[in-house]
Amino acid sequence: MTDSLLNILRGITGENNILFHAVVGSIVGLLVIGAGKIVKWLLSTVGKRIISKTETEIDDEILDIINSRIIALASIFGIFLGMKELRLGLTKQNENIFSFLDFADTALYLITVIIVASLTARIVRTVTVHTMRSIAERQKNDEFNKTLSPLINRIITIIIVAFTAIVVLEHFGQSVTSLVTILGAGSLALGLAAQDTISNMISGFIIMIDRPFRLGDRVKIPTGETGDVYEIGLRSTKILDFDHNVLIVPNNELIKTKIVNFGYPDAETRVAVDVIAAYGSDIELVKNILLKIARSQPNVLSDPAPEAFLMKLGDYGLHFTLFCRVPEYKLQFPTAEKIRIAICHEFAKANIKIPYPQQVVHSVFENNDVLQTSTKRKKISR
């Protein structure tokens, strides 16, 4: 049957051999494109029906990625087979057509490599994101996915682009050995010139893997500033302080120094309120009032229970400290303020005095050989 169709085509085209092979090549190309559309239809219907039975969604995403490029790849393959068929009808007198076909082959090869590399990159990124998301769900921490996925995706993209460039150069007969040597020497020079930047990038990768802090954690750096982690980048980490200013700290410094993380392993933190009662106050009454105030605060945790201690016998009063815990460090200062306000009210009701610093000065003077002593009290201003 095929021979019959070819004979009919040859009869239609007559003695023009180029036209005959051009028509055959066009038919072959259209058939391949049609086959690609059929494959896409089968994957979109039957394939999706089969894949929908699985519990994971990653196979659906990969199928959608492949389906988006099937027609393009089928068209390229069809055009390639059509041009290959056309070459059979050319002679040495058709050098211009040969040159055009060689150029078209090169263009098709580059387009194919780009499409395949793009498909590979998208599939690998999809698998990476899905894997990171699964790990974050198991650990019940979405920050792992937010911080590590972008870094891994960048590294994968760089590797795929480099591998694609090597494949293209090898295809055109260009040796990559000398190129690798040049790049190695250049990388050494670049590494020496930008060692601080590279060190910060490596430190950023270590921070994302080791995770000494996460996005949203409240930290205190050695210079004394305290704030919430706003962004963890490859070169630096951004911390949002209480004045809503962003502190940009190089990752290399964060790796080498001691950092206080108020949000790890959880956000629960302690509230300590100091108060001074005048000498002569009932110690047990003071402690009971402090504990009663702490238990009445809605943000104070009952486990561990609040505790009050007489910490010091001071120069002018009894020093007490109330300890309690709140579920989140952001509630530390508001809760401490409410407790102090309540202490002022309750101490006033119980007639417990809050003393202030004072100094006793003894003055001695002589009048008609009689020593008289007077005592004055003077308030010390602060």
Give the tens place of pLDDT for each residue, 31-59. Answer: 888 888 898 888 888 888 887 777 777 77
Same domain, 40 and 104: yes
Could you tell me which residue, 129 or 331, shows the higher pLDDT? 331
| Lowest mean pLDDT across 126-140, 143-157, 232-246 | 143-157
Distance CA 379, CA 377 (A): 7
Q: For residue 372, tell me if it sits in a domain.
A: no
Under DSSP, the state recorded for 267 is S
What is the average pLDDT across 277-305?
92
Are 262 and 220 in contact by the 8 Å Cβ rule? The answer is yes
Same domain, 228 and 87: no
Same domain, 252 and 321: no
Same domain, 32 and 157: yes
**Strand order across the beta sheet in which 318-326 lies:** 269-277, 318-326, 307-313
Domain that includes residue 219, residue range: 209-261
Q: For residue 368, tell me if it sits in a domain.
A: no
Distance CA 53, CA 307 (A): 57
Distance CA 192, CA 199 (A): 11
At residue 360, the 3 state secondary structure works out as strand
What pLDDT shows up at residue 378? 42
CATH number of the domain where residue 328 is located: 3.30.70.100
Q: For residue 195, tell me if it sits in a domain.
A: no
What pLDDT shows up at residue 275? 94
What is the average pLDDT across 258-275?
86
Same domain, 222 and 314: no
Task: For residue 19, give the amino acid letter.
Answer: L
Same domain, 21 and 110: yes
- Domain limit, last residue, from 232, 261, 290: 261
Burial (CB < 10 A; 0-12, 13-18, 19+), residue 10, is: middle
Same domain, 251 and 327: no
Question: Does the pLDDT of residue 187 top 50, yes or no?
Answer: yes
Burial (CB < 10 A; 0-12, 13-18, 19+), residue 223, is: exposed
Same domain, 93 and 235: no
**Cβ neighbour number for residue 321 with a 10 Å cutoff:** 15
Distance of CA 222 to the CA centre of its chain: 24
Same domain, 240 and 131: no
Q: For residue 118, tell me if it sits in a domain.
A: yes
Q: How many domains are contained in the chain?
A: 3
Same domain, 47 and 114: yes
Same domain, 233 and 317: no
What is the chain's mean pLDDT, rounded?
Answer: 79
Could you tell me which residue, 277 or 261, shows the higher pLDDT? 277
Distance CA 240, CA 268 (A): 20
| pTM exceeds 0.85 | no
**Three-point CA angle 232, 234, 238, nearest 5°:** 35
Q: Which residues contact 203 (CB under 8 A, 6 or more apart)?
A: 250, 251, 252, 254, 255
Could you tell me which residue, 140 or 262, shows the higher pLDDT? 262
Question: Does the pLDDT of residue 209 top 50, yes or no?
Answer: yes
Length of the chain: 382
Name the pLDDT band for 377 (thresholds 50, 70, 90): very low
Q: For residue 370, tell me if it sits in a domain.
A: no
Could you tell me which residue, 97 or 276, shows the higher pLDDT? 276
Q: For residue 151, tell me if it sits in a domain.
A: yes
321-337 residue pLDDT tens: 999 999 988 888 899 99
Q: For residue 175, tell me if it sits in a domain.
A: yes
90-106 residue pLDDT tens: 777 777 877 888 888 88
Same domain, 146 and 29: yes
Task: For residue 101, give the amino acid letter.
Answer: L
Distance CA 32, CA 14 (A): 26
What pLDDT shows up at residue 27? 80
Burial 265-279 (b: 16+ CB within 10 A, else e): eebebebebebbbee
CATH number of the domain where residue 234 is located: 2.30.30.60
Are 69 and 112 in contact by the 8 Å Cβ rule? The answer is no
